[in-house]
Amino acid sequence: MRLPRARLTLSTMLFLPLVAHSFQYPTILHTLKNKLHTATQRLQHHLTPNLHPVSSSPLLTLHKSLVEIPSVTGDERAVAEWLATYLTSKNFTVETQSVGDFGEAWGTENCTSKRRENVYAYYGSRRDVHTLLTSHIDVVPPYIGYKETSNAIYGRGSCDAKASVAAQITAVEELRAAKDSILSPEGGDVGLLFVVGEEVTGDGMKLASEINPGWKTVIFGEPTELKLAVGHKGIAEFTVRAEGRAAHSGYPQLGINANSNLIKALYELDRVELPSSKLLGNSTVNIGQINGGVAANVIPAAARAVASVRVAGDLEETVRRINEAVGGVEGVTIEWFPTPHYGPVELDWDVEGFETIICSYGTDVPNLPGDHKRYLYGPGSILVAHGDNEHVLKSDLFTAVAGYKKLIQESLNPTRRAPALYVEKIVELEVETAAEGVEAQTEAGAAAEAVEPATHHPVVSIVQKEKVYVGDEL
């Protein structure tokens, strides 16, 4: 029998050696597969047709209008006025709340002398709605213009947080327009609140708390990668100041070098161990600004550094440890900013169907006090927010609308389940004592059960507290 002749093509000649070699080195095929996948993704990004042109989508059109209006913190009036007009055209009842000049909240050096407004909207005449959706309309500088690609939208605020603003409005509009709408025709179910100043002092949300008619659920919009946030770290900012005495650099003994003292203080700051938590992990310190001295040939008389701490543990203990570490350096003092200054924030995440996330950035959540439920959710990633390539995927915007609708529905008609609360779990351990101390003899995985003590040693009971989530095995 005559076998058919094999055809050797260029691709076959290149592929066969790899196959043969892979029997000795299996990782080669794995590496090749990963590279091929990466290349395919890059090609897809450039070759995928524009399935969601902005002009054909009310959601994307709304998002575009918001992003195209510059609204760096302190200069939000134009976007607030546009938003109020838009919501009025969609049959919302709209209230605006004057927040005041940016300079009143942040200092005269940054004052823009432009009035700023929060925007509160709801259907009908009932302003005391059950569920509130809220986000912020200010952005960080500098302004970056709007740009669309086949699958993404770029520009300042495209992600943080005008993506949330557009998705929240669209979610409420779609629920309202649905044939079997869960929203009452008389209103009173859902409202929208869009505030200024979140990126700096949170003055917009702090003032908005004065108009709180008793919201039962508040859904905050921030870039959480379409996941429900379990919690986020707190934040506190401070200035470290070093005072010295100026002198000629050729005679350093006649002066006191403020820079040297500041460096010693910052060294101690970097070394300090701060409180942490199982939920949020470690607290972190960022030394963001350093200034000192007037010239290379002058002993510096003054120096300062501005730093922030992302607080994962107890706020008061965090402040105490930093004060102790920095205050131990001669000629150095520390001054804490009055705002932002808050500890860790725990959130509600008891809605099924969402992945969860823990955030290290700050939000307006602690600026709206009350006993309402607090959800944090939105499209986009914080990893690109504030950067020169800030963007959001178009698909994320559409997914976020569905996510907000689900959260609204759950807030109005909650599914009955055990609440996802962060509680203390009491575990009693039986521990044997020895002459040198106490040795725990419990087995892994059996912490809640007494363990047979070793011979010749008396047994004592120790109560151990652990924080767990309701729903975990107790």
**Average pLDDT of span 274-298:** 96
**Average pLDDT of span 325-352:** 94
Banded pLDDT at 52 (limits 50, 70, 90) = low
Residue 473 has pLDDT above 90, yes or no: no
- Identify which has the larger pLDDT, 54 or 13: 54
Residue 306 has pLDDT above 70, yes or no: yes
Give the 3-state secondary structure of residue 348. coil
**Average pLDDT of span 76-95:** 97
Per the residue annotation, which of 76, 173, 198, 199 is the catalytic one?
198
pLDDT at 114 (0 to 100):
72
| Residue range 365-375, pLDDT digits in tens | 999 999 999 99
Residue 439 has pLDDT above 90, yes or no: no
Spatial neighbors of 224 by CB under 8 A, at least 6 apart, are: 357, 359, 376, 377, 378, 382
**Residue 52 Cα distances to 152, 218, 255, 380, angstroms:** 10, 30, 67, 17
- Radius of gyration, alpha carbons of the chain: 29
State phi, psi for 388 to the nearest 5 degrees. -75, -10
Report the distance separating Cα 353 and Cα 369, nearest Å. 27
Banded pLDDT at 173 (limits 50, 70, 90) = very high
Report the distance separating Cα 94 and Cα 91, nearest Å. 9
Q: What amino acid occupies position 470?
A: V
pLDDT at 388 (0 to 100):
96
Share of the chain above pLDDT 70, in %: 74
Residue 379 has pLDDT above 60, yes or no: yes
pTM of the model: 0.75
Give the 3-state secondary structure of residue 400. helix
pLDDT at 22 (0 to 100):
44
Active site residue 198: yes
Q: Which candidate, 386, 470, 393, places its Cα nearest to that of 424?
A: 470
- Pseudo-torsion of CA 13, 19, 25, 31, nearest 10°? 80
pLDDT at 343 (0 to 100):
96
Q: Is residue 170 a contact partner of residue 401, using CB atoms and an 8 Å limit?
A: yes
Residue 430 has pLDDT above 50, yes or no: no
**Average pLDDT of span 204-228:** 94
pLDDT at 50 (0 to 100):
56
Residue 345's DSSP bridge partners are 232
- Tokens 């949020």, residue? 280
pLDDT at 415 (0 to 100):
81
Residue 232 has pLDDT above 50, yes or no: yes
Q: What amino acid occupies position 218?
A: V
pLDDT at 185 (0 to 100):
87
Characterize the bridge pairing of strands 302-311 and 190-195: unpaired
- Identify which has the larger pLDDT, 138 or 185: 138
Residue 154's DSSP bridge partners are 147, 391
